[in-house]
Structure 1
Amino acid sequence: MAASSFRQPHEIPLPHSPANAKLQRQMPSRKGKGKAKDAAPKRRVQVSQLEPSSGTSWDWTSLTDSLVSTIPPIFTKDGSYFFSLVGGSVRIYAVTTGKVVSTLSIPRPTGYDASSDTLTCATLNPHNAFQLITGSVAGVLAVWDFLEATLLQIIDISQPIHQICVHENFKDFVFVTASRPSKKGAIDDNAMVLQVSLKPADVASQSTVQKSSEITPIGKIRTPTGLAFSPSGAWLVAIAGHKAYVASSASFSSGFTKYVSPERLTCLAFHPSEDYFATGDEKGNIRLWYCLNDQIPIKPFGVEKKTQTTTLHWHAHAVSSIAFTPNGAYLLSGGEESVLVIWQLHTGKREFLPRIGSPIKTISVSKVASGEEEYLLGLADATYAFVGAASLKISRSYSRIKLDPAAVHNAPSTSSPSTPLSVHSLTSTLILPSSHPSSLQIYSPTSSTLVSELEVSPSNRVSRRDEKPIDPCRIERAIVSPSSDWLATVDTREGDEGSHGESYLKIWWWDRKAGFWILNTRVDRPHGLEKVTDAAFSPSPEGQPVLLVTTGGDGNTKTWRIRTAKDKSGPTEEFWIARSTSNFQSESPSHVSWSPDASLLAITLPNRIALFSPSTNLLRHTLASPECGVVRSAHFIGKAGRYLAVVGLGDLVLWDLVNQRVRWHHKTSGPIRALVSHPREDTFAVVLSSSSAKSKVAIFQVNSAKPSKTLAVPFGFRNVTWYPLVSSSFSLVAITHDWKVVVLGDNIYISKDEGSVSREIAADPSPQRRTLFQDIFGKSAFGEQASASQPSAPASVARPWTGRAGIGAFDDAAYLLPPLESLFEPLMNGFLKPRVPEASAFPSVITADEDVDMDTDGDERVTLARGAAKRAVDQKEMGVMIELFKTHTLKAKAPIPVAATGRRNGLVNGHDQTKGGSSRVASNPPKPNGVVAPSKTVTDSPRAGVSTPPTPAVNGKKRKKSLG
């Protein structure tokens, strides 16, 4: 306990009094071991090593990554999945659903730092379409079987890898660009292009991390930005700085020929069928290089040349990515302007797809299962958008949390409270800043999906004018009422030479039926030309109206209430109006806090805390805390709100409002970033920021000035608030300095996506298209029986041909199917049952002149007895099938002989039709009216399409059977 306990305000000593010296002596030392304990670890560790008095530990988990992949996604051969490299993992996405079906995490070899395992490049093995090859900053090449999520091989080249490319002409070889360590051990701007063999050296063939059996240097370049092979494999091209490096694959020993560009090159793409390539530069130019047909010197070391190029220019800023369409007729480009440009190469014309929503980082082209061409755009806010090549419209987009550090805030201060963060308890969602500073996004942690986006301040999404960024309206605060029915936002824009600053208070109403926010009231300049410093909704006990309090730089504290207006001919309308305004002798309030029962309102002033009664607007009490120096905020603690925590720059004072005394005083080891009170217990958390890379969170109880536990975390906080969406005794949600959304708490559990771990790709995620046979015979005969009789198999794996028709026969990609000429007989054997041999069906042969006695029973009708069908088909489907194949595939055979017993054997397709009694079968097919046709051709079944009962026999007389 601190020395000052239960004393009157005037009895509190000044900060440098002996009492504070006594307090400092009681605090743990910051030197020696104590200093080592307080240091933030590089990795996530157990808190028990950091806590001064508790052995329990806190957990923390990240809801999303702040990293945005700058590597173009790679599609599988059948276009069902694509790979995205984020940090040290490869995420496998399903194209149709956008969900992560598997995550391949590269293992960390012994001796490598965890911060150096970032993946930088990936490619598919040209000789095995189910193998993925990745490269990392740690200098590791990893070969994956992505269908089985199995790591096949690790090759260490001991140099950071930047780009990778392969070609089918070079089996078991990859070509990479790798940095060259300088003499001092640091990585400089020099790099090498290496030819690396995937075959391990003999000495390391049995170890986990292997060495390549052959590494051949091709040439030296600057820091590379692109590496690619020509379609024929005759040329290898790398770009770096202002140069394009070209090497002939026939003589890699000759090195590179350098071609100079007037601007720094940023991206590279090869034409799919011709030997020329395209590059983009930092000034927005796209150049087509026709240098591969020039007479390149045999030994071009140090030679710099210029060649014929074609320039395409539209982009105002750097070109981030380019890609050719598969037919080579179009070139796609994108960049900071958030516009996809489609260039028609033969005519030079261009088309645009504007307002993508965020700067374009990557472009990939793929064909879906239906054969339609699609463009996949990787955006700067970690969103993937699919664009149809025919419609040039975004068909679908997939994103989790949209956080773009460059677009949301241009290097804001780490201590600035201008990052909005709120929890909407009614829908269990988070309200966060979006990729544009004038929008909010609503994210669901339970489903890991982005629910919607709220554009608070409509604005033009222009990137920048020339080199000066355009300052849009920024959302500084977003506060949700305790009832979850109201949302208050504050958006501002700084003034410049030609215009005044703007400030808007907007109050939104939650439509529970529609499930989105509706703007209810907008207040222009709620505090004049000054900013809104804080805002808070009042708790809403039953019978009390909801109030909103705002404080501003103009020194005023304003209270807002709901007003109801009823039109004579219309419904009742609710909107917000100003209820009262108060000021405090030209002192600017900085923070506002409500007591849990809404009976008190604490207004934080620079040197004191003013307690107001919101119902009467009367000043109830004033608290002075000289220990804190400049008071920054005050917070009610506990469910009853008996205690008030006053926060200074590095001091914390706890007041007992019932006794009107200071309960204790604590001097922290660093600046206090935020304080979060527990909504049900008399405890609270204090966030201490030491830097942008590490912080400490201390948990305090009201009965002790010593924290009960302390946790060091390897990130800084932009904003933090209480997180009620998990079953934990204490939980927080925060936006970190590097734009991660993390949850901290006691034994928290956040459900992870199914694809967040390595797992086999068990089935095709895309809905199966109806085949031609399903359109003819219906889906019941194929789909249901297929799922019951055959287990699911990977969509991209070639299944062995079993000869059974209708069981996924046409579900694979075209290149995985057997030859067409081999399909007919297996299909027919699967659809039709083989006929019973005719000789075995009859005991004797009947001559042409023999008379046959036929039983006459005119009332009996021909009964079609169905065999024990193994497939779930009804009579109608069977009739249509028999008629189809009878008409188009079967020819009439010899008449069925008559049994020697004098009775015609009723066989249709080899099945006995006379079970249950004798019947007469007409030797000719009946006409629709029941009259026997004059033809003597014998049929095996009644005509399809006749809905009347089976036709009875014509008569019961004896008839001579002709074998002709």
Structure 2
Amino acid sequence: MTTNEPEPRRWRWSPLTDSSTSLHPPIFTRDGSHFFSIVGSTIKIYSATSGKIISTLPGSQDHGHTDIITSAVLSPQNAFQLITASLDGTIKIWDFLEGVLLRTIGLDQPIHHVCTHEKIKDHLFVAAVKNKKSDSPEKAQRPSQVVPIGKTRTTAGLAVSASGERLIAIAGHKAYVAPISNLKSGFTKFVSPEPLTCLAVHPFEDYFATGDAKGVVRLWYCLDPKLVKVVGVEKKSQTSMLHWHAHAVSSVAFTTNGAYLLSGGEESVLVIWQLHSGKREFVPRVSSPITNIVVSPSRLAEEEYLLGLADASYAFVSSATLKLSRVFARIKLDPLVSNCRPSSSSTPLAFHQPSETLVLPSSHPSSLQTYSPSTFTLLGELEVSPSNRVSRREDKVLEPARVERAVISSCGEWMATIDRRESDENFRGEIYLKFWYWDKKLTFWILNTRIDRPHGLAKVTSLSFRPGVEDAQVVTTGEDGNMKAWRIRRMRNKKGSEEVSWTSRSSFSLRSDIPRHTSWSHDGSLLAVPIGGSIVIYDPNTNAVRESFVIQECRQPFEAHFIGRSGRYLGVIGGEDLVVWDVLSQSVTWHQKNQYRFTMLVSHPYHDTFITIHSTVLDFSSSSVTLFRATSPIPLMEYTLPFGVLNVSWFYQSSLPLSNDFSLVALTHKYDVVVMGDNVILLEDPGASAKAVQKCPAAPRRSLFEEMFGVPAITSLGNPNEQTRETMADLGSGDGVTVPWRSSDTTNFFDAPSHLMPPIETFFEPLIDSFLRLRTTDDESSAAQAVAEAEDDMPVDPTRETDPVNVSAVSNEAILDVFVPLFQEIADAPGYAYRTDKTIAPSKAINGTSENHTKPISQAPTKNSVRSEIRLSPDQSAPPITTKTGEKRSRASLG
């Protein structure tokens, strides 16, 4: 049987940010000015300096991956091309400067890893799964050559050795090594005592590092061809062990000079290992577990370490100071932190109208974050309940305190939160009601009052501010059956200044039933509370019951909301029932029974309309929104949303006038934050589309002479507008020059860990000399004053004009020509300590050239192989790209 009923139309909605995190490490461009981040089936291009998203691949004109992207590398043939691999069985080559797709290669097998090497530019090595069939697009090209190498379990890493002679893969308890010159011989297996989780190859020497599930970092010395004599069998390799982590190591990386190894994991600590000595240094408390580590190219500045964190943020660590130099974060949401998914009632969500920011749950359940939807930036993170975020591996996972509720007053000056920690066999439960004051100068929330156990050990079921009153008032309900009101208390201290805090105003209850929801009228004169099977309306000034009624059509009401500005109607939902009650006539206006259970009701703050939200499936993957008028049971409109809704809040937009339309912000079942409504302005992320990557102005590089002796003063005089590279701190080292003292400079002396700092008595002289100037004696000052007076009394010929001195710029070559004879004379002196008469043999290889390392690659296929090596055929031409005549592409900035 078919019906002609129209399908519900989709409501307008727009995601504020993508909360999914990437397990694949980001990829830097050759010059380190940008890096690529994998987010689902897209690639986001970030600026390494500002952290802004410059572009997103694919663009609207290209067909991107249809499944999750699992790996990405820069093309060895062209540094301005990016190669991506996906579970859809395709490999795509992108021109990231122009933001266009160049080629698509189909394998018909889900791909998990891909790697390349500079010495093998025409080949790709991929790890693919053969038990699943993936349909590649019809236009996808086929590789000219596919060479199976061997079979492994699900790979955790794939790389080529520094020499380009060995292919390395890790999977399960084994490390697999295959000679690239003889791929048909297959893998040699080396056994690890624990499951391997990550892989990194030394940049110069033939060995690699792995991390395992027990927190051990191992260095494997098994790439010597003399040691690998028997293939296809399990062997043990010579290794060295580095152990500090208590949990699994999620990522390892070598520095560019190969002297240090970086490791990180669940402890939120970056460990820097000095390989030749085994010593280690730490960068603690990076705010979230580390998922991947990448070392940035150090061409123009100092080397930096980029940390990809579990809360979808990125942190840069300076290699010189071992401190966080900058953190790039949007919305920090990580539902994987908790073992159980919280309910909609325990998911805090609020909108702060004065600052137009959102208050959201953060990556840790004991914290909140403030986010600006207009600028797509994270403004701050508020730790509501301090807690230990890491436990020992053998111990039970610590149950953190969770922020269950957060509401903001209508004036925006106060915020109230509820955080709770469950009890166990060793500790009693904790629950706190906290009041926060909005500091306009700091533009942040400041803790004002903490109330322990507002309802004893019982759980708080609702929390709401009273609107429309001068002094804010809060009402809470609990599972102890009580309702409590809280007010502001103002007192003057001994100094005469006013102190503001919160205290209990009253406590009352009606029946033995548990109240679970409260709703205020628009002017704050009435309070509606569902209790058991009835709705009770209170006078908040006297706590007297104004009205109590039982709705026969809704036996178990769990929410009751005043509708509109007048407050005449009361919308009640309970199970599958929806009832609108007329408060004046004390009767049911209309009743409707739904097929599914209602999850929430949201009233319009200015008009007599409201919406109901219910999920149509058990997994909450979609929702239905129905718009009603308070006087009619006929829906005005029905909408569908492709996600479930955990919590919703009204989203005030200053650019929109007051109207009948709805404007809401919601937290979905996948922890995405979306804006939805009738006439909501769909916010557009400036980096959400594919755009051409603009060139960044390159920072001036110092010459070797400038690194040794500084920038010559005569060079800077040649260009008055050019700022010298020396800072004020450098000027302070001269005689008679004093740098203005700042209090922050003193605190920087003690930023380092105490065990790494020199004795405290050694700080006194440098600290005092840094901001105090030596006082001259009276004789010296009088002599200087006499000289100054003598200069002032010198006769000046007013008719004669002094010709301006023409100071021309001097090149670095001219300066070096002056000092080269001096250096030669010193070096040729008989008493020169570093003089040597040995003749240095010329190098066999001239700088800039390399020997030919190309080796024949076997083409004989192996049956039932999963590991594949792909040859990129040069005769397969890429699709033509339209270019304008007379334009020349400049690629000097990213090379």
Q: In angstroms, what is the RMSD of aligned CA positions?
A: 2.9
- Evaluate the alpha carbon distance shift between residue 380 and residue 640 of structure 1 in structure 2; reply closer, same or farther with a 3 A threshold: same
CA shift for structure 1 position 172? 2.4
How far apart are the structure 2 equivalents of 1:373 and 1:775? 31
Residue pair 2:59, 2:100 contacting (<8 A) in 1 also: no
Paired residues for 1:425-440 under 5 Å: 425-440=353-368
Q: Deviations over 1:63-105 (max 9, x none)?
A: 1112101111111111111111111111111111111111112
- Evaluate the alpha carbon distance shift between residue 578 and residue 768 of structure 1 in structure 2; reply closer, same or farther with a 3 A threshold: farther
Q: Deviations over 1:707-735 (max 9, x none)?
A: 22222222112211211136372121111
Tell me which residue corresponds to 1:374.
304
Residue of 738, 742, 760 corresponding to 2:674:
742
Residue of 677, 686, 700 corresponding to 2:628:
700
Paired residues for 1:921-960 under 5 Å: none
Residue of 84, 91, 110 corresponding to 2:37:
84
- 2:150 is paired with a residue whose SS is strand
Q: Deviations over 1:469-500 (max 9, x none)?
A: 10111100000001101000000001111111
Tell me which residue corresponds to 1:715.
643
Residue of 105, 110, 114 corresponding to 1:155:
105
- Is 1:319 the counterpart of 2:269 in the alignment? no
- 2:204 is paired with a residue whose SS is coil
- Evaluate the alpha carbon distance shift between residue 883 and residue 158 of structure 1 in structure 2; reply closer, same or farther with a 3 A threshold: closer
Residue of 270, 277, 281 corresponding to 1:347:
277
- Is 1:730 the counterpart of 2:662 in the alignment? yes
User: Taking every aligned residue pair, what percent have the same amino acid on both sides?
Assistant: 51
How far apart are the structure 1 equivalents of 2:571 and 2:242? 63
Residue of 48, 58, 76 corresponding to 2:11:
58
Q: Deviations over 1:130-177 (max 9, x none)?
A: 111111111111111211212211111111111111112222221111
Residue pair 1:58, 1:747 contacting (<8 A) in 2 also: no
How far apart are the structure 1 equivalents of 2:572 and 2:229? 78
How far apart are the structure 1 equivalents of 2:341 and 2:207? 44
How far apart are the structure 2 equivalents of 1:78 and 1:178? 31
- 2:312 is paired with a residue whose SS is coil
Tell me which residue corresponds to 1:282.
213
Tell me which residue corresponds to 2:351.
423
Tell me which residue corresponds to 1:481.
409
- Evaluate the alpha carbon distance shift between residue 863 and residue 50 of structure 1 in structure 2; reply closer, same or farther with a 3 A threshold: same
How far apart are the structure 2 equivalents of 1:550 and 1:765? 57
Q: Deviations over 1:672-708 (max 9, x none)?
A: 1111111111111111023321111111111221322
Q: Deviations over 1:802-852 (max 9, x none)?
A: xxxxxxxxxxxxxxxxxxxxxxxxxxxxxxxxxxxxxxxxxxxxxxxxxxx
Tell me which residue corresponds to 2:693.
761
- 2:456 is paired with a residue whose SS is coil
Q: Deviations over 1:589-627 (max 9, x none)?
A: 100110001110001112111100111211000121232
Q: Deviations over 1:39-64 (max 9, x none)?
A: xxxxxxxxx7325xxxxx52111111
CA shift for structure 1 position 364? 0.3
- Is 1:214 the counterpart of 2:214 in the alignment? no
- Evaluate the alpha carbon distance shift between residue 130 and residue 625 of structure 1 in structure 2; reply closer, same or farther with a 3 A threshold: same
- 1:627 is paired with a residue whose SS is coil
- Is 1:564 the counterpart of 2:490 in the alignment? yes
CA shift for structure 1 position 662? 0.8
Q: Deviations over 1:742-792 (max 9, x none)?
A: 1111132233232221111123177767996998346967779xxxxxxxx
How far apart are the structure 1 equivalents of 2:719 and 2:589? 76
How far apart are the structure 2 equivalents of 1:547 and 1:584? 20
Paired residues for 1:162-311 under 5 Å: 162-182=112-132, 208-293=139-224, 295=226, 300-301=231-232, 303-311=233-241
Q: Deviations over 1:416-461 (max 9, x none)?
A: 4111000000100000011111111000000100001111111222
Residue pair 2:714, 2:809 contacting (<8 A) in 1 also: no
- Is 1:656 the counterpart of 2:582 in the alignment? yes
How far apart are the structure 2 equivalents of 1:518 and 1:700? 40
How far apart are the structure 1 equivalents of 2:486 and 2:32? 56
Residue pair 1:284, 1:319 contacting (<8 A) in 2 also: yes
- Evaluate the alpha carbon distance shift between residue 273 and residue 715 of structure 1 in structure 2; reply closer, same or farther with a 3 A threshold: same
Tell me which residue corresponds to 1:622.
548
CA shift for structure 1 position 124? 0.8
Residue pair 1:428, 1:444 contacting (<8 A) in 2 also: yes
CA shift for structure 1 position 558? 0.6
- Evaluate the alpha carbon distance shift between residue 882 and residue 475 of structure 1 in structure 2; reply closer, same or farther with a 3 A threshold: closer
TM-score (norm 1): 0.72
Where in structure 1 are there 5+ consecutive unaligned residues?
A: 1-30, 38-47, 52-56, 188-199, 785-857, 865-874, 891-964
How far apart are the structure 2 equivalents of 1:768 and 1:484? 48
How far apart are the structure 1 equivalents of 2:801 and 2:506? 95
TM-score (norm 2): 0.77
**Letter of the 1:597 counterpart:** D
**Letter of the 1:550 counterpart:** T
How far apart are the structure 2 equivalents of 1:551 and 1:774? 73
Q: Report the more deviating stretch, 124-133 or 232-241.
A: 124-133
Tell me which residue corresponds to 2:341.
412
Equivalenced residue count is: 732
Q: Deviations over 1:845-904 (max 9, x none)?
A: xxxxxxxxxxxxx9998997xxxxxxxxxx66x4344999999999xxxxxxxxxxxxxx
Q: Deviations over 1:266-289 (max 9, x none)?
A: 111111111111111111111111
**Letter of the 2:579 counterpart:** V
How far apart are the structure 2 equivalents of 1:739 and 1:774? 57
CA shift for structure 1 position 250? 0.8
- Is 1:644 the counterpart of 2:575 in the alignment? no
**Letter of the 2:347 counterpart:** T
- Evaluate the alpha carbon distance shift between residue 485 and residue 860 of structure 1 in structure 2; reply closer, same or farther with a 3 A threshold: closer
Tell me which residue corresponds to 1:537.
465
Q: Which has the higher contact order (CA 8 A, sep 6+)?
A: 2
Residue pair 2:715, 2:810 contacting (<8 A) in 1 also: no
CA shift for structure 1 position 465? 5.2
CA shift for structure 1 position 32? 5.2
How far apart are the structure 2 equivalents of 1:305 and 1:270? 20
Paired residues for 1:514-593 under 5 Å: 514-541=442-469, 544-593=470-519
- Evaluate the alpha carbon distance shift between residue 72 and residue 886 of structure 1 in structure 2; reply closer, same or farther with a 3 A threshold: closer
- Is 1:133 the counterpart of 2:83 in the alignment? yes
**Letter of the 1:621 counterpart:** E
CA shift for structure 1 position 219? 1.4
Q: Deviations over 1:497-527 (max 9, x none)?
A: 1111111000111111221111111110000
**Letter of the 2:455 counterpart:** H
Residue pair 1:70, 1:361 contacting (<8 A) in 2 also: yes
**Letter of the 1:50 counterpart:** P
- 1:443 is paired with a residue whose SS is strand
How far apart are the structure 1 equivalents of 2:160 and 2:517? 61
How far apart are the structure 2 equivalents of 1:773 and 1:248? 54
How far apart are the structure 1 equivalents of 2:154 and 2:412? 52
Paired residues for 1:446-457 under 5 Å: 446-457=374-385
CA shift for structure 1 position 126? 1.9
How far apart are the structure 1 equivalents of 2:700 and 2:810? 27
How far apart are the structure 2 equivalents of 1:774 and 1:863? 23
How far apart are the structure 2 equivalents of 1:80 and 1:613? 62
**Letter of the 2:51 counterpart:** G
Residue pair 1:665, 1:705 contacting (<8 A) in 2 also: yes
